[in-house]
Amino acid sequence: MTPQFFVLMTAILLVGLVILSYWQDRRSTRAAPPSGKIISTSQGDVHVVTRGEPGEDKLPVVLLHGSFTNALDMDLDLASALSKDRLVLAPDRPGHGFSPRQAESHRLDRQVAAMREAVKVEGAERYVIAGQSYGAATALAWALAYPEEVAGLVLIAPVSHPWPYGIRWYIRVSLNPRYGWLFRRTFMALYARYGVRRGIARALKGCRAAPYYFSRTRAALSFRAEEFKANAEDIGRLYEQLVPLAKRYPEIDVPVEVVAGTHDLTVILPIHGRKLAEEVADGHLEVIDHGGHALHHSHTESCLDAFTRVDERLDILARSPLESAFRAITAVFPQRDDKKQETSSRP
């Protein structure tokens, strides 16, 4: 085999992979229409999945997804349960799912500004924010930027602090200005076609959603070349933003529930979740023994319990001193519950 022939075959292979990449991106985008509504904001369009109706005594919830996912990841297990008695809004962060990428969208404040406008259009003026992984960092930035609107936080496997280790190799390669484009259009195109399903199956092993996660969340969208670049930019530029952001966590004075796993190898518990719960004024940490990174799928009930605790703490904060005193006095006396007695007496 001559060198010229080898170069020619390599060039043909690369061109073929690039064509495959564009075809796959187009196919993934057109596979199904957006699940929610495209809302125009001053920061660009934002796709929002809306579930449920405004509740009488429960605030709306805004769900923020992590890296290499979209709003349907948060919609899959959490939104279906939460929307039974309240309004639930799950936006695609800018550059992900069906929210177009705008200039400087790697900045947390730009993402927050766009999504805040979108949820206000949907009728949420004051709300609880929940974020998973990278979404938790976005939620923290949101709470600091608009404290009068954020009533509470539920942070699941949160990334919150600068970390002592680097970023994964494929993030670094993807961001390289010389060959990042080619990497995304060749290597990642092959992975998207032949490896991503197995990767998701390993990550969600044992989760109820594992068999249908890929199709239900349209995970292929995250491996389109431009969206993969957006994910890489988000991760690659996060550390520099967390350095000043982490210094302000003591300013957050709303109820904060942190749910984190001992076996999370993506976001290490002592560096992020444990430290965060200690630094916020009203924080509580729920540690899931042997829990991994996708706790909202593997331990959904524990995550839903965190929302219940936030609701209860908000209820206590909303009571007048007289009401609190009355409840404390009446709690001393036993309450007769005929309905409960009748139910418990059934065989």
pLDDT range class, residue 56, cuts 50, 70, 90: confident
More confident residue, 63 or 318: 63
Mean pLDDT of 90-116: 97
Mapping DSSP onto H, E and C, the string for 130-177 reads EEECHHHHHHHHHHHHCCCCEEEEEEECCCCCCCCCCCCHHHHHHHCC
Report how far apart, in Å, the C-alpha atoms of 309 and of each of 6, 97, 221, 249, 318 are.
63, 31, 34, 20, 14
pLDDT range class, residue 316, cuts 50, 70, 90: confident
Mean pLDDT of 302-326: 81
CB distance 7 to 58 below 8 Å: no
- Please give the pLDDT value at position 50: 97
pLDDT digits over 88-102, tens only?
999 999 999 999 999
CB distance 84 to 52 below 8 Å: yes
Closest listed residue to residue 64, CA positions, set 174, 150, 169? 150
Distance from chain centroid for Cα 106:
15
Q: Quick one: angle between helices 196-203 and 187-194, nearest 10?
A: 60
Task: Locate the DSSP E strands across the chain.
Answer: 37-41, 44-51, 61-64, 88-91, 127-132, 150-156, 256-261, 283-288
Q: What is the CATH number of domain 11-318?
A: 3.40.50.1820
Instruction: Name the burial class of residue 164, with classes exposed (0-12), middle (13-18) and buried (19+) by CB atoms within 10 angstroms of its CB.
Output: exposed
- Please give the pLDDT value at position 320: 52
CB distance 337 to 284 below 8 Å: no
**39 bridge partner residues:** 46
> Can you tell me the distance from the alpha carbon of 54 to that of 83, in angstroms, rounded to the nearest whole number?
9
- H or E element in which residue 216 lies: helix 213-216
Q: Where are the domains of the chain?
A: 11-318
Average pLDDT, the chain: 91
- Please give the pLDDT value at position 324: 47
More confident residue, 188 or 318: 188
Four-residue CA torsion sign, 189, 233, 220, 304: positive
pLDDT digits over 14-27, tens only?
999 999 999 999 99
- Please give the pLDDT value at position 300: 97
**258 bridge partner residues:** 155, 285
Residue 136 has pLDDT above 80, yes or no: yes
DSSP string, 305-328: HHHHHHHHHHHHHHS-HHHHHHHH
- Please give the pLDDT value at position 2: 86
Residue 333 has pLDDT above 90, yes or no: no
Residue 344 has pLDDT above 50, yes or no: no
Question: Both tokens of residue 233?
Answer: 């930019």
3-state secondary structure of 58: coil
> Can you tell me the distance from the alpha carbon of 17 to that of 23, in angstroms, rounded to the nearest whole number?
10
Residue 329 has pLDDT above 70, yes or no: no
Residue 206 has pLDDT above 50, yes or no: yes
- Please give the pLDDT value at position 3: 84
Question: Both tokens of residue 297?
Answer: 């799928």
The number of helix segments (H) and strand segments (E) in the chain equals 17, 8
Mean pLDDT of 313-342: 57
Closest listed residue to residue 104, CA positions, set 241, 249, 246, 267? 241
Lowest mean pLDDT among 57-61, 74-78, 299-303, 335-339: 335-339
Q: Quick one: angle between helices 3-30 and 187-194, nearest 10?
A: 50
pLDDT digits over 216-271, tens only?
999 999 999 999 999 999 999 999 999 999 999 999 999 999 999 999 999 999 99
